[in-house]
Structures are given as structure tokens and as C-alpha cells.
């Protein structure tokens, strides 16, 4: 049995280019008796269905649902892969594509996903093909893709950077337009309960109940972590506009040290890791930023497309 | 880093189960008098259960009308917690039966109900006493719900540290919270086995685990049904406490009507023994 994750990117510039790589990739997998799974939006899924031989046992997942958020995608894929291996699979092929809407302010945490899966799926006998349409993919996104995939277009990739390095590189605050306004809240050293109540009040009228409660849960975990493991003062700021809310929870410390924190539930005993993993699955965007003042966790809630 | 979180009473003040903390016994009597006077005015039989010798306390109360005449005609009584009430750890079921008997007697004598303020400090000094008393709190709370009985468990804060007091206070639907932001108590049997309200976060994790094990709700048909409509926040720590409790009993905890983030959290954590249902 071949173990390990072969993480490959396909950078294509036409439907023909896309199909010329993807169709053989999938057909070879099926022919070898390997579980073969694709996760695409409706347009690419339809292209593939037309191009594949009728009755090909390729499993189609809903790309929008699979890639709702990075930590949830990792959880779903790990469940799927674990099940396939338990059922006897010795090699698995997966192809998928992120919606271009994530190339804006949300790209940072999807770049973290692309890097983290080199580790997170490495226990499985897996070959993934991540396709990106270069006609709609910004150059800064392509740079990250080239650093997070060990192979590109069938060739070993010299610019590949291991996740332990990539994920530790300092990131700045998200370029979220809500930050241009004055924060509705600016709290110093609140208790988790105090922060929850303030954010719940500030978010009312902007978010539906589930999004608001998920954000409140995330803020509670962030303040708990900052208070327990960070360096005071803990500062909580909150902006709201339209149907979106952005919360920043910062402290004067260096932030979590585990590079996979937030993306995987159990990370080397990192304290607070479970709370951050829950936060990653409860918000529409999460950014871990570091600057001269310390560490800040940025959490956005509400429809992410509104800012792209 | 902390700010007190108000935790509201869950039930109407009358016909319910309260917790009071007090700093000296005179202050407890001072607080108890208007409370018991209201009971007499409503036609209830009232008891003041003291940790002091009964005689001097009864003499003091006799001088304060309407307690003088009420003590004479049996509408009011002063009892000793150790001599008349219980000694050693309470036996939870027997204590509830004694309470039921006292209520029946009061009703038979023409009273509208029974109202008791009891200094219960002597009953919770040791861990074994507190374990037994916690179970009693849960059982007596279930007995009281919907019956014309109002009870106050009063605890001397000088003899219990804050954490110990909070672990007892949270087992009452009304009264002083001891800084604990949640309540866990019983409900009428038709409504399920347990009511959780307030907020359960990292600060509540340890007292919640203690309170749940003391209340020790038992599964019915494999389920422990929790009315969580008054639960404004619950985190993964408290859900893990519930999961572990249910797993040990081979049961499922059914959380009815918690905040909307809870179902997702249960799925994320892969909890097999906790199920979330909308409020009925």
C-alpha cells in the first residue's frame, strides 16, 4: 500500500486544458479500482460529467458545501478518506477546485488549508489534484499555490514550502472593508461572558441567529484563550455593517505556536487548540495576524461573498 | 479579568426553591422574617430551621408579630437543624418524604401550603454531606415544582469557600448564585428530568461537573431530557461533561432548545451521547 499524500496543482487556462488533465487522471483512477472523488461547482462538474465515459464510478461532491471553510473541509475529507481506507482502499484520487470568491479577503485561510493538507492528509494513500483557472486567479494566490503543492502539472515543484514553514510565516490583518469604520466595541480585558454579551448586542440586526450565536461562541473561545494563554491586555474590537460583523481579539503575546492550530482539532497539545478549531468552523473567515503589538485573531461572520 | 454575570431566577419566587448566602445568623433571621411573614399572610404554615439553640431564637421571633401568635397556634415553628431536622449526611429520598409529610400535615390543618427557611450549613460541611445534599436538592426541587411549597436553603458563607457555595447555589432555580453563571435543577417529570439555564463556559466547567454528579439525574428509557430553553450559552467543555455523564450511564442526553450554535458543536465534536432537539 502506498502511503502519503501527493498534493498536486493544475493551473489551467481553458476548459480543454482542464479536461485534458482531469479526465485521464480520473479515468486512470477508476481503471485501477481506486476510489475517485471530485468536488466542484456546478459548471466544472457538468463539464466533467459530459467528458467522462457514461457510468464512470466517479463520486461527485458538492464543491460549495465541501469547501465552506478550511477546518470543516479537512474534517469532512479526513472522515471520507478514513472510511475509504477502512473499506480497503489502497490508493484514492481526489480532484477539486475552490470557488474564485475565496481569492479575496478569505484567501489567507484557504492558503493555510492548501498548506496544512500536506500534513493533514499525509496518513492516507492519497493523490489530490487541485485545479485553478489562471484566468480568474490573482497572482498573489498563484504564488501561494506554487508554494503549497509538491507537484505542479506532473512535475516536482522546487518552490514547494513545507507547511511547518509556510504556516509559521507572519500574516497581517485582513483587508476587510469593515475595518475602515470606527469599531462599535473596543473592550479592554473583558471576561468571556462580558465579551459575549457585548458582541451579541453589537451583532443583533446584522446577523441571523445562527451566525450570531456561532460568532458569540468563537469570541468566547478567543477571549478565553487570550486570557488564559496570552499576555495582557486582551483587547476586543467589533465592527458591523450590512449583514456582516468582524471581531478582533488581540493580546500582547505571540499567539499559538503550533502551525496547524485551528485547522486540526488536536495539535501537539497546544492549549486552546480545540477552541480555535471550533472558531475556524463557526465563522465565515478567520485570520491569525501578528505585528509589533502582539497576536490578533480576526473573526468574520455573515455572507462572505458580500466583501469579495 | 472577570465581571459578575447575573443569573436570573428561573421560576416564580413563590412555590419554589431558593438559595441564600448569609454572613451572620442575625442577618439570616432579618432576611427570613418578611419572607415568612408573606407566607403567613398567604395562609401558609412557616418554619424557620436554625443552627442555634431553638429556645432563644423562638423567643426572639415571638416578640415580632405576627410570629408570636403564629408560634402559639402552630402556624409557625422554629426547629433545630441538627436536632429536629437531620444529623449527618441527609438521606435524600427520606428527606424528601419527610418534606412531603410536612406539606400534607400543613394542608390537612387548613394551611394553603408550607414555607421553610433552613440554615443548612451543618448539612454540607463534608464532601460526603455535600454529595448527599446535592442529590437531595435535585429531588426536593422536583418535589416542589408545581406544589404549594417554598423552600430556602441558607448557607453560612463564613463556613464555605466561594467555590463550595457556588456548587450548592447552582442547584437552585432561584436566589443567590454565588458567582456561578448557570443553574441546574429539576423540572416537573412531564417536562423532562433536568433544567439547565444561564451560561456554561470555561468558568462553569468544574462547578457544572460537580453539580451534575450531585444532582445525578437518572435516565428514563435511555434518555436524560434537559430543558435548555433558558441556556443562553454552552461551550464544548460543558457538552463534554454531559457526554461523559451520559456515556457512563449508557444513556443519551437530549438537549431541548439550546442556543442555535449547539447542534453544530455536537456534530463537530462527534459527541455520540448528546442529541440536540428544538424546543417543543
Residue A139 at interface with chain B, using a CB cutoff of 8 Å? no
- Residue the block writes with cell 435548555: B228
Question: Is B219 exposed, middle or buried (CB count within 10 Å of its CB: 0-12, 13-18, 19+)?
Answer: middle
- Closest residue in chain A to residue B233, using alpha carbons only: A217
Q: How many CA atoms lie within 13 A of B117 on its CB side?
A: 24
Burial B175-207 (b: 16+ CB within 10 A, else e): bbbbbbbbbbbbbeeeebbbbbbbbbbbbbbeb
The pLDDT > 90 percentage for chain B reads 80
Overall average pLDDT of the A15-19 stretch: 97
DSSP-assigned beta bridge partners for residue A151:
A8, A156
Cα B124 from Cα B34, distance rounded (Å): 26
Looking at residue B21, what is its pLDDT? 96
Task: Using the predicted structure, report yes or no on whether residue A304 has a pLDDT greater than 80.
Answer: no
> Which band of pLDDT confidence, cut at 50, 70 and 90, is reported for residue B189?
low
User: Where do runs of H (alpha helix) occur along A40-106?
Assistant: 42-51, 63-66, 70-86
Task: Using the predicted structure, report yes or no on whether residue A307 has a pLDDT greater than 70.
Answer: no
- B198-223 pLDDT, tens per residue? 999 999 999 999 999 999 999 999 99
Instruction: Count how many pairs of residues, chain A against chain B, have C-beta atoms within 8 Å.
Output: 57
Partners of A262 on chain B (C-beta within 8 Å) are none
Is it true that the peptide bond before B66 is cis, omega within 30 degrees of 0? yes
Interface of B with A (CB under 8 A): 1-3, 5, 181, 199, 201-203, 233, 235-236, 259-261, 264-265, 268
- A224-282 pLDDT, tens per residue? 999 999 999 999 999 999 999 999 999 999 999 899 999 998 766 677 789 999 999 99
Partners of B264 on chain A (C-beta within 8 Å) are 214, 281-282
Q: Which of B80, B74, B96 is nearest to B151 (CA)?
A: B96
Question: Is B102 exposed, middle or buried (CB count within 10 Å of its CB: 0-12, 13-18, 19+)?
Answer: middle
Overall average pLDDT of the B42-62 stretch: 96
Cα A28 from Cα A39, distance rounded (Å): 17
Contact A192 B236 (CB under 8 A): no
Task: Using the predicted structure, report yes or no on whether residue B240 has a pLDDT greater than 90.
Answer: yes
Residue A231 at interface with chain B, using a CB cutoff of 8 Å? no
Task: Using the predicted structure, report yes or no on whether residue B131 has a pLDDT greater than 60.
Answer: yes
Contact A221 B235 (CB under 8 A): yes
Task: Using the predicted structure, report yes or no on whether residue A181 has a pLDDT greater than 90.
Answer: yes
Looking at residue B145, what is its pLDDT? 84
Helix (H, G, I), strand (E, B) or coil at A92: strand
Q: Which of A161, A224, A154 is nearest to A190 (CA)?
A: A224
Contact A278 B5 (CB under 8 A): no
> Which band of pLDDT confidence, cut at 50, 70 and 90, is reported for residue B191?
low
3-state secondary structure chain B: CCCCCCCCCCCCCCCCEEEEEECCHHHHHHHHHHHHHHHHHCCCEEEEEECCCHHHHHHHHHCCCCHHHHHHHCCEEEEEHHHHHCCCCCCHHHHHHHHHHHHHHHHHCCCCCEEEEEECHHHCCCHHHHHHHHHHHHHHHHHHCCCCEEEEEEEECCCCCHHHHHHHHCCCCEECCCCCCEEEECCCHHHCCEEEEEEECHHHHHHHHHHHHHHCCCCECCEEEEEEEEEEEECHHHHHHHHHHHHHCCCEEEEECCCCCHHHHHHHHCCCCEEEECCC
Task: Using the predicted structure, report yes or no on whether residue B123 has a pLDDT greater than 60.
Answer: yes
- Closest residue in chain B to residue A196, using alpha carbons only: B233
β-bridge pairing B17-22 and B149-156: parallel
Between B146 and B200, the higher pLDDT residue: B200
Contact B181 A192 (CB under 8 A): no
Is it true that the peptide bond before A128 is cis, omega within 30 degrees of 0? no
* Sequence-ordered list of residues with C-beta below 8 angstroms from that of B34, at least 6 positions apart, any chain: none
Mean pLDDT (chain A, rounded): 94
DSSP-assigned beta bridge partners for residue A60:
A38
> Which band of pLDDT confidence, cut at 50, 70 and 90, is reported for residue B63?
very high
Task: Using the predicted structure, report yes or no on whether residue A63 has a pLDDT greater than 90.
Answer: no
Spatial contact of B18 and B171, defined as CB atoms under 8 Å apart: no
Which grid coordinates belong to A32? 485501477
Helix (H, G, I), strand (E, B) or coil at A91: coil
- Closest residue in chain B to residue A74, using alpha carbons only: B268
Contact A196 B233 (CB under 8 A): yes
Looking at residue B16, what is its pLDDT? 86
Looking at residue A271, what is its pLDDT? 75
Between B145 and A12, the higher pLDDT residue: A12
Task: Using the predicted structure, report yes or no on whether residue A122 has a pLDDT greater than 70.
Answer: yes
Phi, psi of B248 (to 5 degrees): -60, -25
* Stated pTM of the model: 0.90
Looking at residue A87, what is its pLDDT? 96
Cα B201 from Cα A167, distance rounded (Å): 30
**Element spanning A299, H or E:** strand A294-301
> Which band of pLDDT confidence, cut at 50, 70 and 90, is reported for residue B86?
low
Mean pLDDT (chain B, rounded): 90
Cα A197 from Cα B197, distance rounded (Å): 16
β-bridge pairing A285-291 and B114-119: unpaired
> Which band of pLDDT confidence, cut at 50, 70 and 90, is reported for residue B15?
low
Which grid coordinates belong to B62? 415571638
Cα B136 from Cα B153, distance rounded (Å): 11
> Which band of pLDDT confidence, cut at 50, 70 and 90, is reported for residue B85?
low
DSSP-assigned beta bridge partners for residue B50:
B80
Q: Which strands sit side by side in the sheet containing A285-291, from one edge to the other?
A: A185-188, A235-241, A244-251, A294-301, A285-291
Amino acid at each position: 500500500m502506498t502511503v502519503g499524500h501527493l498534493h498536486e496543482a493544475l493551473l489551467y487556462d481553458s476548459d480543454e486544458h482542464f479536461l485534458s488533465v482531469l479526465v485521464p487522471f480520473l479515468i486512470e483512477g477508476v481503471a485501477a479500482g481506486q476510489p475517485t472523488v471530485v468536488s466542484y461547482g456546478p459548471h466544472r462538474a457538468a463539464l466533467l460529467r459530459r467528458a467522462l465515459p457514461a457510468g464512470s464510478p466517479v463520486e461527485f461532491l458538492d464543491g460549495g458545501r465541501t469547501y465552506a471553510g478550511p477546518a470543516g473541509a479537512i474534517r469532512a475529507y479526513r472522515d471520507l478518506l478514513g472510511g475509504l481506507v477502512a473499506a480497503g482502499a489502497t490508493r484514492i484520487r481526489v480532484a477539486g477546485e475552490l470557488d474564485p470568491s475565496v481569492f479575496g479577503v478569505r484567501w489567507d485561510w484557504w492558503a493555510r488549508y492548501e498548506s496544512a493538507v500536506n500534513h493533514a492528509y499525509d496518513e492516507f494513500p492519497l493523490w489530490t489534484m487541485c485545479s485553478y483557472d489562471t484566468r480568474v486567479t490573482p497572482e498573489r494566490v498563484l504564488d501561494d499555490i506554487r508554494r503549497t503543492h509538491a507537484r505542479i502539472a506532473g512535475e516536482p515543484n522546487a518552490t514547494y514550502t513545507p507547511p511547518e514553514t509556510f504556516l509559521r510565516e507572519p500574516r497581517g490583518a485582513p483587508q476587510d472593508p469593515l475595518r475602515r469604520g470606527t469599531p462599535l466595541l473596543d473592550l479592554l480585558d473583558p471576561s468571556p461572558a462580558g465579551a459575549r454579551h457585548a458582541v451579541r448586542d453589537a451583532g443583533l440586526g446584522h446577523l441571523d441567529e445562527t451566525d450570531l450565536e456561532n460568532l458569540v461562541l468563537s469570541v468566547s473561545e478567543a477571549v478565553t484563550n487570550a486570557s488564559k494563554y496570552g499576555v495582557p491586555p486582551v483587547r476586543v474590537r467589533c465592527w458591523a455593517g450590512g449583514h456582516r460583523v468582524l471581531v478582533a481579539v488581540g493580546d500582547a503575546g505571540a499567539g499559538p505556536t503550533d502551525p496547524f492550530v485551528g485547522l486540526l482539532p488536536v495539535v501537539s497539545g497546544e492549549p486552546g487548540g480545540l477552541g480555535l478549531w471550533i472558531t475556524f468552523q463557526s465563522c465565515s473567515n478567520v485570520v491569525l495576524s501578528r505585528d509589533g503589538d502582539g497576536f490578533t485573531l480576526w473573526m468574520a461572520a455573515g455572507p462572505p461573498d458580500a466583501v469579495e | 479579568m472577570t465581571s459578575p454575570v447575573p443569573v436570573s431566577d428561573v421560576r416564580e419566587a413563590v412555590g419554589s426553591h431558593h438559595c441564600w448566602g448569609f454572613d451572620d445568623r442575625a442577618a439570616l433571621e432579618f432576611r427570613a422574617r418578611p419572607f415568612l411573614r408573606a407566607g403567613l399572610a398567604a395562609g401558609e404554615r412557616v418554619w424557620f430551621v436554625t443552627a442555634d439553640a431553638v429556645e432563644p431564637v423562638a423567643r426572639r421571633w415571638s416578640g415580632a408579630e405576627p410570629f408570636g401568635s403564629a408560634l402559639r397556634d402552630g402556624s409557625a415553628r422554629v426547629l433545630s437543624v441538627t436536632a429536629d431536622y437531620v444529623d449527618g449526611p441527609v438521606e435524600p429520598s427520606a428527606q424528601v418524604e419527610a418534606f412531603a409529610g410536612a406539606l400534607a400535615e400543613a394542608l390537612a390543618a387548613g394551611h394553603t401550603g408550607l414555607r421553610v427557611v433552613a440554615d443548612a450549613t451543618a448539612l454540607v460541611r463534608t464532601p460526603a454531606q455535600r454529595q448527599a445534599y446535592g442529590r437531595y436538592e435535585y429531588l426536593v426541587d422536583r418535589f416542589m415544582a408545581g406544589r404549594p411549597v417554598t423552600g430556602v436553603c441558607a448557607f453560612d458563607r463564613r463556613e464555605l469557600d466561594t467555590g463550595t457555595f457556588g456548587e450548592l447555589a447552582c442547584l437552585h432555580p432561584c436566589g443567590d448564585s454565588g458567582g456561578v453563571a448557570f443553574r441546574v435543577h429539576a423540572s416537573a417529570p412531564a417536562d423532562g428530568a433536568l433544567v439547565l439555564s444561564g451560561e456554561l463556559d470555561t468558568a462553569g466547567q468544574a462547578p457544572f461537573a460537580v453539580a451534575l454528579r450531585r444532582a445525578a439525574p437518572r435516565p428514563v428509557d435511555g434518555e436524560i431530557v434537559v430543558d435548555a430553553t433558558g441556556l443562553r450559552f454552552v461551550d464544548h467543555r460543558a457538552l463534554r461533561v454531559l457526554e461523559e455523564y451520559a456515556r457512563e450511564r449508557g444513556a443519551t442526553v437530549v438537549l431541548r432548545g439550546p442556543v442555535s450554535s449547539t447542534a453544530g458543536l455536537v456534530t463537530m465534536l462527534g459527541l455520540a451521547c448528546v442529541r440536540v432537539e428544538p424546543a417543543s
